[in-house]
């Protein structure tokens, strides 16, 4: 096989790419054991990317039909699940085979299907089912990703998360409840990873800005019984927050203050402020304005804690630079920033001692901290 070697004016990388893309090279690669194995692996990985949407839709169908819940007491035959869900038995067989293929179900020797450990987690992890179901909107927004990238399409996610656009008046209470409950269920995991990354031993009074229904502060209250806590979010969110905080028995520990960080003063008398899953909802101008407002609300030596999924930056992350980057794009505001980007915004706002901490699980959250200089 003849190769056209690179000239002095063309980069080696481009030459190599062109050689690999040639049909003659692919034919050659299929006959050489070492190269053939690499080609097969590359092909399998590319096909796995292609079928990714179908895998997620199989999961969506299983959750929508409550198949995991129906299998909690033990294996069932496809016919029984077909009868319970109103799905044709042959098509239920296809769904169950697919569920086994993605690892949430397993097929028994007698033809029945049972849950795997991951399948049981679909039932046991709080909020996971709701999180999967709400992705119907995201999937539709991703139907034409080129139009999404060009900003040519209206997106459903923009309507699902109305607060990122600064809503301060009357908001549909059903939308409010859906938003708050979904955030609260997923926020618990974020809170636990955040608190495992930082220490609040020296904090006297923490305010959580954009704290939703209080999931983060509930975890803080349990871990730090002596810290005063204030939740700040839009007035429409307050009923849900007060209800959840009361259910946790923490009404006397967590004060709730309604307001918009765009228009209203932030809580006073605090020496630490947290922004959990807040910045990636907004554009740079809004983020910088918020950070400056936080700086003004803190005393010298006061701490800022930022926790949210972050881009890998110079080392692209396989989850945050794919899922979260496009999710925030579909929300039509904000973006998934790297820890370096966030640190730069903090510095620009006037913070000192900005530090990006190593995340426990980048797909859950990453943490950046900063201090107001004395």
Give 304-334 as a DSSP string.
EEEEE--B-TTS--TTIIIIIHHHHHHTTS-
pLDDT band at 212 (very low <50, low <70, confident <90, very high): confident
Estimate to the nearest angstrom the gap between the alpha carbon of 317 and the chain centroid: 13
Determine the Cα–Cα distance for residues 136 and 343; give it in Å rounded to an integer: 34
Instruction: Tell me whether residue 228 is in a domain.
Output: yes
- Contacts of residue 74, defined as CB under 8 A and 6 or more positions apart, other chains included, come to 114
Query: Of residues 346 and 358, which shows the higher confidence score?
Result: 346
* Domain co-membership, 255 together with 119: no
What are the φ and ψ backbone dihedral angles of 213, each rounded to 5 degrees?
-95, 15
* Domain co-membership, 284 together with 260: yes
| pLDDT at residue 167, as a whole number | 44
Instruction: Tell me whether residue 7 is in a domain.
Output: no
Would you mind telling me the total number of residues written for the chain in this entry? 374
* Domain co-membership, 229 together with 94: no
Least Cα distance to 337 among 304, 318, 358, 309 occurs for 309
* Domain co-membership, 204 together with 338: yes
| pLDDT at residue 165, as a whole number | 46
Instruction: Tell me whether residue 5 is in a domain.
Output: no
| pLDDT at residue 345, as a whole number | 98
12: pLDDT strictly greater than 90 = no
- Predicted confidence (pLDDT) per residue in 223-234, tens digit: 999 999 999 999
Specify the range with the lowest mean pLDDT, choosing from 73-77, 237-241, 368-372.
237-241
Instruction: Tell me whether residue 354 is in a domain.
Output: yes
Estimate to the nearest angstrom the gap between the alpha carbon of 83 and the chain centroid: 35
* Domain co-membership, 97 together with 221: no
The b-or-e profile of 261-288 (16+ CB within 10 A means b, else e) is: beeeebbeebbbbbbbbbbbbbeeebbe
Average pLDDT of the segment spanning 78-82:
97
Instruction: Tell me whether residue 6 is in a domain.
Output: no
Inter-CA distances, 147 with 21, 151, 154, 330, Å: 28, 6, 9, 11
pLDDT band at 26 (very low <50, low <70, confident <90, very high): low
Average pLDDT of the segment spanning 11-29:
65
pLDDT band at 166 (very low <50, low <70, confident <90, very high): very low
Specify the range with the lowest mean pLDDT, choosing from 137-146, 175-184, 320-329.
175-184
* Domain co-membership, 160 together with 232: yes
Domain housing 197: 138-371
Determine the Cα–Cα distance for residues 276 and 213; give it in Å rounded to an integer: 12
Determine the Cα–Cα distance for residues 306 and 368; give it in Å rounded to an integer: 5
* Domain co-membership, 320 together with 189: yes
CATH number of the domain bearing residue 66? 1.10.10.10
| pLDDT at residue 44, as a whole number | 78
344: pLDDT strictly greater than 80 = yes
- Predicted confidence (pLDDT) per residue in 110-122, tens digit: 999 999 999 998 8
Determine the Cα–Cα distance for residues 154 and 158; give it in Å rounded to an integer: 8
Q: Percent of the chain at pLDDT above 70?
A: 84
Instruction: Tell me whether residue 129 is in a domain.
Output: no
* Domain co-membership, 184 together with 225: yes
Determine the Cα–Cα distance for residues 199 and 329; give it in Å rounded to an integer: 32
The 10 Å Cβ neighbour count of residue 259 is: 17
* Domain co-membership, 303 together with 271: yes
| pLDDT at residue 48, as a whole number | 84
Instruction: Tell me whether residue 195 is in a domain.
Output: yes
Tokens of 83: 């009868």
Instruction: Tell me whether residue 113 is in a domain.
Output: yes
Specify the range with the lowest mean pLDDT, choosing from 13-17, 177-181, 248-252, 303-307.
177-181
330: pLDDT strictly greater than 80 = yes
Average pLDDT of the segment spanning 191-206:
96
* Domain co-membership, 30 together with 71: no
152: pLDDT strictly greater than 60 = yes
The average confidence (pLDDT) of the chain is 87
pLDDT band at 331 (very low <50, low <70, confident <90, very high): confident
CATH number of the domain bearing residue 142? 3.40.50.150
Q: Which residues pair with residue 357 across a beta bridge?
A: 367
Average pLDDT of the segment spanning 188-216:
93
Q: Report the domain count for the chain.
A: 3
Per the CB < 8 A criterion, the answer to whether 95 and 62 are in contact is: yes
* Domain co-membership, 204 together with 98: no
* Domain co-membership, 120 together with 185: no
């Amino acid at each position: 096989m003849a190769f056209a070697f690179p000239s002095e004016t063309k980069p080696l990388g481009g030459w190599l790419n062109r050689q690999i893309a040639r049909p003659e090279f692919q034919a050659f690669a299929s006959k050489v054991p070492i190269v053939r194995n690499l080609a097969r692996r590359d092909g399998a990985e590319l096909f796995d990317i292609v079928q990714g949407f179908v895998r997620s839709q199989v999961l969506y169908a299983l959750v929508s039909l409550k198949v995991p819940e129906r299998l909690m007491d033990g294996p069932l035959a496809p016919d029984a699940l077909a009868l319970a869900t109103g799905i044709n038995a042959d098509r239920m067989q296809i769904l169950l085979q697919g569920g086994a293929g993605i690892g949430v179900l397993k097929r028994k020797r007698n033809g029945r299907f049972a849950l795997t450990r991951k399948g049981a987690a679909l039932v046991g992890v709080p909020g996971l089912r709701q999180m999967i179901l709400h992705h119907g909107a995201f999937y539709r927004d991703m139907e034409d990703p080129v139009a999404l990238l060009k900003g040519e399409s209206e997106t459903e996610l923009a309507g699902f998360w109305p607060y990122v656009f600064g809503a301060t008046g009357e908001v549909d209470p059903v939308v409010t409840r859906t938003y708050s409950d979904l955030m609260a269920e997923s926020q618990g995991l974020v809170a636990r990873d955040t608190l495992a990354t930082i220490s609040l031993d020296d904090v006297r009074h923490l305010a959580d800005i954009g704290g939703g229904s209080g999931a983060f502060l509930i975890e803080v209250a349990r871990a730090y019984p002596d810290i005063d806590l204030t939740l700040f979010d839009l007035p429409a969110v307050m009923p849900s927050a007060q209800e959840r905080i009361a259910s946790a028995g923490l009404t006397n520990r967590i004060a709730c203050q309604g307001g918009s960080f765009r228009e209203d003063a932030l809580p006073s008398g605090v020496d630490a402020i947290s922004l959990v899953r807040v910045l990636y909802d907004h554009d740079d101008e809004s983020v910088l304005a918020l950070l400056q407002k936080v700086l003004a609300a803190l005393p010298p030596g006061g701490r800022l804690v930022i926790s949210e999924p972050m881009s890998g930056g110079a080392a692209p992350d396989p989850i945050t630079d794919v899922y979260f980057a496009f999710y925030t794009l579909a929300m039509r505001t904000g973006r998934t920033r790297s820890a370096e980007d966030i640190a730069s915004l903090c510095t620009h706002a006037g913070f000192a001692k900005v530090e990006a901490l190593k995340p426990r699980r980048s797909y859950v959250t990453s943490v950046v901290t900063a201090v107001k200089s004395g």
